[in-house]
Amino acid sequence: MKEFVTEHQSPYLDLTTEVSDILYKGNSEYQDIIVAESREFGRMLVLDGVFQTSVKDEFIYHESIAHIPLFLHPSPKNVLIIGGGDGGAAREAVRHPEVEQVTMVDIDGKVIELSKRYFPSIAKAMLEGNPKLTVRVGDGIGFMKEAADFYDVIIVDCSDPVGPGEGLFTYDFYKSTYKALKKDGLFVQQTESPFMHQPLIQNIWASVSDIFPITRLYTSFIPLYPSGMHCFTMGSKQYDPLQWTPNRNRIFPTRYYNEGIQRSAFVLPNFVKDLLYGEKER
């Protein structure tokens, strides 16, 4: 008998993949967790029914959320990752020689544990005990509130704005982010699909642009996520991605990211510009 996992991408849209095996099915204090061996995407992590990451396409998400902010900053020494329990964002961040320490704070220790067990290629930096990386289990919001003028780059690698990720999409959270960053710091957050989650993106944009002098949005192709069109919102105190020129060499290979993508990711289709800036005659 064939087995499947399905994400209800919206009340009216399902994405279903056949799986050869369910490796784990259980729950943590915070969420339902499935680890499945899918025939389309390879091994997948599913939280509360939402496809989080897959071995086949995770490089796109993790390179997009890590390298775009890290290469925008000319000298990212202290990096904070909020969420990111699978370890993929941390794996990419520690590859930058300029990065001296990466602190990752995920609320769900079970996700960290299962990622180390079932996703060794993603959890690589955690498994190897990379000396730059400190992994904490706890509330990222509370943790960040104690920091001031400390981080160069903050990466908010959160799940959807329901369940444990909910508090990471509030005005207060962005205020704390601003305070925790150095005077030339910047942050980035995954902010769902510009095709499917427009009110959410507009709300985030309004908050971030009220607090940060520079607010930008960039996109990435993520086959596992609803519509395949995913976006990231960035708030920056000083560096503007639209003015980016290469500030150092990239000494490691990548599968998605390159210097062209660093620029083109910020080039937005008109309907996305309309979302952010309002509809004008173009």
Question: 121: helix, coil or strand?
Answer: coil
In the complex with a copy of itself, which residue's Cβ is closer, 166 or 279? 279
Q: Which of 252, 262, 182, 258 is nearest to 218 (CA)?
A: 262
Token pair of 271, please?
């309907």
* Kind of pairing between the strands at 133-137 and 101-106: parallel
Q: Are 177 and 152 in contact (CB under 8 A)?
A: no
Q: Is 157 annotated as a binding residue?
A: yes
Q: Is 193 annotated as a binding residue?
A: no
What is the distance between the alpha carbons of residues 107 and 101, in angstroms, rounded to a whole number? 20
Give yes or no: 157 in active site.
yes
Q: Is 159 annotated as a binding residue?
A: yes
Q: Is the dihedral of CA 122, 63, 230, 169 positive or negative?
A: positive
What is the distance between the alpha carbons of residues 155 and 101, in angstroms, rounded to a whole number? 13
In the complex with a copy of itself, which residue's Cβ is closer, 49 or 269? 269
Rule CB under 8 A: which residues touch a copy of itself?
Answer: 10-18, 38-40, 57, 59-60, 195-196, 219, 221-223, 227-229, 253-258, 260-261, 263-264, 267-271, 273, 281-282
Residue 15 CB, nearest approach to a copy of itself (Å): 6
Q: Are 217 and 205 in contact (CB under 8 A)?
A: yes
Residue 146 CB, nearest approach to a copy of itself (Å): 38
Q: Is 73 annotated as a binding residue?
A: no
Residue 81 CB, nearest approach to a copy of itself (Å): 23
The residue from 32, 48, 157, 240 that is catalytic is: 157
In the complex with a copy of itself, which residue's Cβ is closer, 171 or 195? 195
Active site residues: 157
- Could you tell me which residues are annotated as the binding site for spermidine? 62, 86, 157-160
